[in-house]
A and B are shown apart, each in its own frame.
Chain A
Amino acid sequence: MKKPVLILISFALLCVLVFLSACGKDTAENNPTAGLTKVAEGYAAGAAAKVELYTKETTLTSGYTRFYVALYDSVSGNRIDEAHISLTPMMDMGSMTHSAPYENPVSENAEKHLFPCSVTFIMSSMGGSWTLKLNVHNHLNNKEGSLTLPLTISEPVKSRQKSFTASHNGAKYFISLITPSAANSKVGINDFEIAIYKKASMMSWPADSSLTVSLTPEMPTMGHGSPNNVDPVHTGKGHYKGKVNFTMTGLWRLNLDFMSGGSVADTTQYFDVEF
């Protein structure tokens, strides 16, 4: 009469073991930087923090670039999930320097141990050298420090970054294609997102929400467009979201017209996507 009980218990134990080992595996797979590429790292000395910089892409190219910052205590190696990070991108062209549009992490609390932020590299490293300065205020020890990381920005196969001088006010606008990309495009309805920045000075590149955008995709090789696209509208911080429909694979040109109220800002810009 005892044997069945023993078997049952050992079976239950086995189940628990399997469950635990599966759980362990799960946490290993829950590595927050899985699938991301580390593009730079260093120490923010004053904040006693190690800084690691990640992106989804394997190489950095000019245009809107989303970064994921991971912070570690420089002594214990433990993750720092509460910090205040601010960015300063800088381009040194020898004769002059200028900054670029950027987005600091929205929260001082990490999102899955990472602090998402962005920099829009308005040109590649062909014309000079890019650096990204991160100022870190470590909320765990209330210390502050910074570091500057050099970055190499190459030119993408299809440009994701355009600029124009608006005809209605003479200001210079910088347009970045965030999505779709060759990697995430499909035949069907695709999310469309751009970010618009205005150049206020060499050091100030604020997000712009004053323009209205209309989107007209076409296949330049065939001369046709696609139906039922949704013009991008401003959703905050210079980001405009809409929908672009691809009726087939191949090379698509996403024509963009920009209006400011009733007057034309620019009608010459486009992004090419080939998938």
Chain B
Amino acid sequence: MKKIIPFLFILHSLTGRTQTGFSDSSRYIELKEVTVPVKNGSSRQQLVRFVRTGQAASLEDIMSRIPELNLLRRGSYGMEPSIRSLSSGQINVLIDGMRIHGACTDKMDPPTIYIEPVNLDRMEVQTGNHGFLHGSAIGGSINLAVASPSCHAVSKISGLFSSGYQSAAQAFYESLQLNYAGPRWSLLGSITGRKAAAYRSGGGDKVAFSQYEKINYSLSAIYQYNPQTRIKLDFIGDNGWNISYPALPMDVGYAAAGIASVSLEKENPLKKITRWRVKAYANQVRHYMDDTHRPNVPMHMDMPGKSQTAGLYSDGEIRLNSRQQIRFTADLSLTYLKASMTMYQTGQLPMYMLTWPDNRKDQAGAGASWQWQADSNWSLRATARIDLVNYTLRSQEAKDHISILGFPDAARSGFLKNISFGATRRISPVLKTNASIGWAERMPTASEYYGFYLFNAQDGYDYIGNPDLRPEQSLLGELNMTVQGKKAEFKLGGFYQYIRRYIMGRINTSYSSMTIGANGVKTWEALPYAILTGIEASLVWKPVDEVSLISTLRYTYGKTNKGEALPMIAPLKNLSALRYQPGRVFLQAETEQASRQQRYSLAYGEDATAAYTLLHVRSGYSFSLWQKKTDLQAGIENILDKKYHEHTDWGNIPRPGRNFYMQLLMRF
């Protein structure tokens, strides 16, 4: 569900960040107030100003506006990001470089729920051919870079208070952030609460079981050892309760996450190693899922889960000379997972089984990306990474479970190799092209190896793990083009991805389903291959200083080796925003359009999804209160009160209808 939306999202490419002229499909979405000096009035730099928003929006709102991302939606909370239709184990979702695994076997808790935009410095979305630098993955990476305390703040204590309300879900949002800037120590703390009731969909019907409540808190401390070196401590806590998922048969009574890290960071632009960081981290997620509140449940069921991850990583940048630079990373992590299910029938002993037989994934990897600005027209980039991954079952009980499936020894290991090359050529002062090709591999997930009768509400099958799976492999080619005018920027990109051993559930008639009412059992199997191809385009236009227009377009086509449609592929989508900002006031009109999706995966329980057009308006007013900038924003989303759902929404649950929102951002 849409929360309070940032008044304009920004598509800010890597080029703007490194100024070395590399143009590929990586995006860095800056969410903090960025103080980039507006120099020559190029459209991109002017638009950087718009970035300073989003604290009151949920991360999901921001993600939903990035062309390469889609959200797999099971409820208004915990939407799972997918990059170009690849998700879960096919992509890396990292928090400040840290790995974190959800504790829910039904993927109710992607790592993105633990970061409130108020804690977010920037979101790094790396698609395609360089997206595996931080972890072997075939679909790219999303890294949520967490905000650091500001050491150079004007006043010792500063802060930000924000508050919001939206009508469709009668949702409240309150957040407080405090920063202390001392000579050596600086601290940043935040606390955010969200409470949403079941929302109203277009046309006025309430969507039952769509409410949630959560509180998120964080503390970050920096000790500046010397001008180049600092030590950083971070903690993020997140507690959610009464979270419902209308597309799933289960709710979450309680979910808690704790994420902690300590890092040493060195930065010295004059040295050969310009930036270097080493970080040790640990996190734990607990998840209590049950169906106590659902009507017509034949048998009450509890499904608790736990995930624990500990890791160590180091990354940095080496400047070989003024034209060459290397980014490197080396990391290792241990991820422990355990989830179980207990069903109760009066007069009988409880029925208990492990849905994730306790298992651990040990991973060690290293990667590097080399960039070379050959001359003013050519630049090259090569990225490589290797990973050693080892999966083990951690108890006799877990081994006993998997032995039923025919695997007395289910420990598995893999050696993953990833490599890519890209070249960028400036054809003329306005036109730049980029081409890249890459090979990437990813390990099967714990669910794909060891999942034990995990019910998938989308296709209605119980899923069984398969330790015989081998790593998925991808060959990806990409072409991008950027036309950079004085007042406009146009980007067009296309990709073609051949995925070998594409992992998908296949009906297994020799098994009987465990879940009452399920259609049957599917075992994870590898298709010989699958193809994903698509285009992405974006236009940024700023005809005059007061007016700006952003429009994005994306289309993905996916098929199996037999020509059948791949599941969870969004149709052609367009997002456009026109903004008028004469001074302290801004007005913005947006359209969101999706075409009809007729290519759907029947095997995955999908059906056709209707086209829709949505209209949103937003407005804002900035003023000074006690000499600090204060923002007041209000708007209406889905003005036409359209009843619609996206193709990647599970269970065809309608999205929120007309939604009036307002929010206040006060700095002090």
Contact = CB atoms under 8 A, between A and B. Distances in A.
A225 interface: yes
B345 A247 contact: no
* Of listed A188, A228, A245, A275, residue having the most chain B CB within 10 A: A188
Interface string B446-475: 000000110000000000000000000000
Given A189-B400, A189-B403, A221-B345, A249 B513 contact: no
A118 to B, nearest CB: 28
B382 to A, nearest CB: 47
B394 to A, nearest CB: 15
Contacts of A223: 516
Contact of B514 (A247, A274, A275): A247
A4 B404 CA distance: 61
A225 B520 CA distance: 12
Which 6 A/B pairs are nearest by Cβ-Cβ distance? A188-B400, A250-B351, A248-B353, A225-B512, A245-B404, A249-B352
A224 interface: yes
Contacts of B400: 186-189
B404 A226 contact: yes
Given A187-B354, A226-B404, A247-B404, A275 B512 contact: no
A222 interface: yes
Interface string B141-179: 000000000000000000000000000000000000000
A69 interface: no
6 contacts: A221-B299, A224-B513, A224-B514, A228-B404, A248-B514, A249-B351
A64 to B, nearest CB: 23
B403 A248 contact: no
Contact of B348 (A189, A247, A250): A250
Given A228-B406, A245-B404, A247-B452, A222 B353 contact: no
A221 B349 contact: no
A86 to B, nearest CB: 40
Interface string A247-265: 1111100000000000000
Contact of B353 (A189, A247, A274): A247
A221 B353 contact: no
Interface residues of B, number: 27
B403 A247 contact: no
A241 to B, nearest CB: 17
Interface string B323-353: 0000000000000000001010100111111
B405 interface: yes
Given A221-B345, A247-B452, A247-B453, A227 B404 contact: yes
Given A188-B403, A221-B299, A227 B510 contact: yes
A222 B351 CA distance: 10
A221 B351 CA distance: 10
A47 interface: no
Contacts of B453: 247
Nearest to B452: A247
Interface of A: 186-189, 219, 221-228, 245-251, 274-275
Nearest to A227: B511
B397 interface: yes
B130 interface: no
Nearest to B513: A224
B401 interface: yes
Nearest to A246: B404
Contacts of B512: 224-227
Contacts of B404: 188-189, 226-228, 245-247
A187 B452 CA distance: 12
B350 A249 contact: yes
A251 to B, nearest CB: 5
A189 to B, nearest CB: 5
Contacts of B514: 222, 224, 247-248
Contacts of A224: 512-514
Nearest to B517: A223
Interface of B: 299, 341, 343, 345, 348-354, 397, 399-401, 403-406, 452-453, 510-514, 516
A246 B397 CA distance: 12
B513 A250 contact: no
Contacts of B397: 186-188
Contacts of B352: 187, 248-250
A180 to B, nearest CB: 13
Nearest to B400: A188
Contacts of A187: 352-354, 397, 400-401
A contacts with B: majority SS: loop
Contacts of A186: 397, 400
A250 B401 contact: no
Contacts of A245: 404
Nearest to B523: A227
A228 B401 CA distance: 12
Given A186-B400, A223-B516, A250 B349 contact: yes
Nearest to B355: A248
A248 B351 contact: yes
B355 to A, nearest CB: 10
A245 B452 CA distance: 14
Contacts of A246: 404
Nearest to A251: B348
Contacts of A247: 353, 401, 404, 452-453, 514
Contacts of B510: 227
A219 B512 CA distance: 11
Given A226-B404, A227-B510, A250 B516 contact: no
A16 B77 CA distance: 69
Contact of A222 (B452, B511, B516): B516
Given A222-B299, A224-B512, 4 more contacts: A189-B400, A222-B351, A223-B516, A247-B514
B451 to A, nearest CB: 13
B359 to A, nearest CB: 15
Nearest to A249: B352
A46 B403 CA distance: 54
A251 B349 contact: yes
Contacts of B343: 222, 248, 250
Contact of A274 (B349, B403, B452): B349
A221 to B, nearest CB: 5
A156 to B, nearest CB: 16
A36 to B, nearest CB: 26
A249 B401 contact: no
Contacts of B349: 249-251, 274-275
A8 to B, nearest CB: 44
- Chain B CB within 10 Å, residue with most, of A187, A219, A226: A187
A121 B350 CA distance: 31
Contacts of A221: 299, 345, 348, 351
A18 B350 CA distance: 48
A224 B520 CA distance: 10
Contacts of A227: 404-405, 510-512
Nearest to B353: A248
B353 A249 contact: yes
A203 B512 CA distance: 44
Q: Which residue, B299, B352, B512, has most C-beta atoms of chain A within 10 A? A: B512
A249 B345 CA distance: 12
B105 to A, nearest CB: 15
A252 to B, nearest CB: 10
Nearest to B453: A247
A131 B18 CA distance: 93
B396 to A, nearest CB: 9
B249 to A, nearest CB: 15
A53 B287 CA distance: 53
Contacts of A188: 397, 399-401, 403-404
B612 to A, nearest CB: 40
B607 to A, nearest CB: 27
Contacts of A225: 512
A248 B343 CA distance: 10
A246 B400 CA distance: 10
Nearest to A190: B400
A228 B404 CA distance: 7
Nearest to B357: A187
